[in-house]
Amino acid sequence: MPALTEIFGDDSVLQFGGGTLGHPWGNAPGAVANRVALEACGTARMNDVILLVKVMKLSVKLANGALN
């Protein structure tokens, strides 16, 4: 989602399907998870945080930790 908000900005419509409906706890928690993630991306953009860079760095750290 950070990549989508970086590309399309705040004035966009994002469609969520399988991630919401396939959530292991059900549809409502899936919708809540999407909303929370979207709010976090919006807050980061308003505070001039380049969230995509932070997510990529975290992903690398997690991958290195998982492989070692």
Residues 1-39: tens digit of each pLDDT: 777 877 887 788 888 888 788 888 888 988 888 888 888
Residue 68 has pLDDT above 60, yes or no: no
Q: Annotate the chain with three-state secondary structure.
A: CHHHHHHHCCCCCCCCCHHHHCCCCCHHHHHHHHHHHHHHHHHHHHCCCCHHHHHHHHHHHHHHHHHC
Q: What is the pLDDT of residue 42?
A: 79
Structure tokens at 60: 């690398």
Cβ neighbours around 52 below 10 Å, total: 17
Q: How far apart are the first and last CA of the chain?
A: 27
Q: Which structural domain range is residue 20 located in? A: 2-67
pTM of the model: 0.58
Structural domains in the chain (count):
1
